[in-house]
Amino acid sequence: MSTPPSGPAQAPKEPVTPVIIDVPASLDVGTKAPEYVVLPEGKKLNESAALDLAKSRPVQWIVLAGPSDAGKTTLLTSLYELLQWREVEGYAFAGSMTLPAFEESCYLSRRVSGNSKAHTPRTRYEGPNPLYLHLRIRSTKGLRPFRDILCTDVSGEMFEHARDSVAECKELIFLKRANHFLLFLDSAKGVQQEKWAMVEDGRALLRSCVDSGMIGANCVVNIVWSRFDYFVAQEAEKGHRPFRDEAEKQLRETFSSAIPSLMFSEVAARPLESPALGIGHGVPAILKQWAETPLEMKALDLFPKSYSGTRESELFADRHFASTTANEETHR
C-alpha cells in the first residue's frame, strides 16, 4: 500500500499565552438580561400617556374640534403623509410615538386597501376621554430645533355634547391645555341649503368653550374651512364667496373681544372634488403656525423673598439679598 506524499515540513506552533482581563468588582457578571423588552405599542396615546410625554419635554397641544365627518382626522393623516413625502417646506419628520396609529388611519386612503375611493376611518366616541396622535418635527434650516406636537383625535360627538351644555364642556379638561384650537366648518355643508345651520353649530361650540372658560387667553383659535375643494368646485357656478365673507365677519364680531388670537384658514386635505388642488392643500401652512408659535414658559422665582435656616450658606443668602429686597420695596 502506497504512502501519501508528505507535504512541506511545518514549524511547530508556539504555545498561546492566555490573556487575563481584570473584571471590576462592582460588575455583577451574574446579572442576566431581561427575557422580554417592553416596547411602546405605537397606538393613540390616552390622557395619562400624553401627560407623561408632556412632563418629559415641551409640547404644543393641538385640539381639533368640530362635528363628525368634518375632516379632522383626515387633516392629521394628510400632514403625516406630506412629511413622509418630504413635501412640507422648511420642516421634516423627526419621529412619532404613535406611528402604527398613523398608518392605520392612512390605510383606507391607499391603493393597497382595495378601495376605489380614498377614505379615513371615523373616530369612535368613547366618552369624554381624549386620545392623541404624536408628531415630532424639526426645522430643515438653522440649528434644526425639534418640536413635539400632540394632536387630539376624538369623535365629533364629544364636541356635540360640549356645544349643547356648558357643564359638559367643562368636563373636557384637555381644552385648557390647548396652544391651538382648530374649529372645523365643513365646506361640504357650506354649499348646501343648511350652510347657515352649520355655521351656527360652530358658533355655539365656540361660545360654549369661551363661556365655560376652557379656552386660555394665549390660545390661538383657528376657524378652518375644511374640505375646501367643495367650494372651489362650485365657486365659478354659484359664487359662494359672499357667504364665507359674511360668516367670517359675524364670527369676528362675536368673538374678537373674547379671543385675542382669532384667524381663518382654508384646507382641502384630500381634495376629491377638485383634485388639482393637490393632497394636503393648506395643511403645511397650519403646521407652520404650530411650529412657529412660541411655547409658553413659566417664570422661575430665582430670588425668593425670605430665607430660613441656620446653615452659613442660608445666612449668607439672607445678607446678600437683603439690599435687593429693600430696593424693591422702595420703588413700589
Element (H, E) at 328: helix 322-330
- At 261-273, the pLDDT tens digits run 999 999 999 999 9
172 located within any domain: yes
Confidence band, pLDDT 50/70/90 cuts, at residue 255: very high
309 located within any domain: yes
Both 287 and 318 in one domain: the answer is no
Both 139 and 162 in one domain: the answer is yes
41 located within any domain: no
Strands (E), the chain: 59-65, 91-93, 132-139, 146-152, 180-186, 220-226, 262-266
24 located within any domain: no
Q: Please give the average per-residue pLDDT across 179-207, as a whole number.
A: 95
Both 245 and 310 in one domain: the answer is no
Both 268 and 328 in one domain: the answer is no
Query: Which residue in 214, 266, 278 sits closest to 240, CA to CA?
Result: 266
In this structure, what C-alpha cell is assigned to residue 313?
A: 450658606
Query: Which residue in 292, 109, 265 sits closest to 187, CA to CA?
Result: 265
Both 241 and 271 in one domain: the answer is yes
Q: State the first-to-last Cα distance of the chain, in angstroms, to the nearest integer.
A: 118
Both 211 and 114 in one domain: the answer is yes
Both 210 and 332 in one domain: the answer is no
- Angle at 159 (CA atoms; ends 207, 49), nearest 5 degrees: 120
273 located within any domain: yes
Both 285 and 315 in one domain: the answer is no
CB-count burial class (<10 Å; 0-12, 13-18, 19+) for 323: exposed
Q: Please give the average per-residue pLDDT across 277-282, as a whole number.
A: 94
Both 167 and 311 in one domain: the answer is no
State yes or no: pLDDT of 95 exceeds 70: yes
Provide the pLDDT for residue 302: 45
79 located within any domain: yes
State yes or no: pLDDT of 53 exceeds 50: yes
**What three-state secondary structure class fits 56?**
helix
Place of cell 381634495: 271
Length of the chain counted residue by residue:
332
In this structure, what C-alpha cell is assigned to residue 281?
A: 392643500
33 located within any domain: no
- Angle at 320 (CA atoms; ends 317, 322), nearest 5 degrees: 100
CATH number of domain containing 56: 3.40.50.300
133 located within any domain: yes
Q: Which residue has the higher pLDDT, 69 or 210?
A: 210
- Angle at 90 (CA atoms; ends 86, 95), nearest 5 degrees: 55
Place of cell 413622509: 84
Question: Is the distance from CB of 171 to CB of 91 less than 8 angstroms?
Answer: no
Provide the pLDDT for residue 159: 92
Both 91 and 168 in one domain: the answer is yes
How far apart CA 107 and CA 104 sit, in angstroms, is 5
Sequence-ordered alpha helix ranges (H) in 33-121: 47-56, 72-84, 99-107
Percentage of residues in the chain having pLDDT higher than 90? 57
Task: Identify the domain containing residue 89 by its residue range.
Answer: 47-292
Provide the pLDDT for residue 91: 94
Query: Which residue in 225, 224, 233 sits closest to 190, CA to CA?
Result: 225
Provide the pLDDT for residue 300: 41
Q: Please give the average per-residue pLDDT across 121-132, as a whole number.
A: 70
Provide the pLDDT for residue 152: 95
Both 94 and 177 in one domain: the answer is yes
Identity at 184, one-letter amino acid code: F
- At 127-166, the pLDDT tens digits run 667 999 999 999 998 777 899 999 999 888 899 989 999 9
Both 135 and 102 in one domain: the answer is yes
Structurally, the chain folds into a number of domains equal to 2
Q: Which residue has the higher pLDDT, 226 or 332?
A: 226
How far apart CA 290 and CA 103 sit, in angstroms, is 22
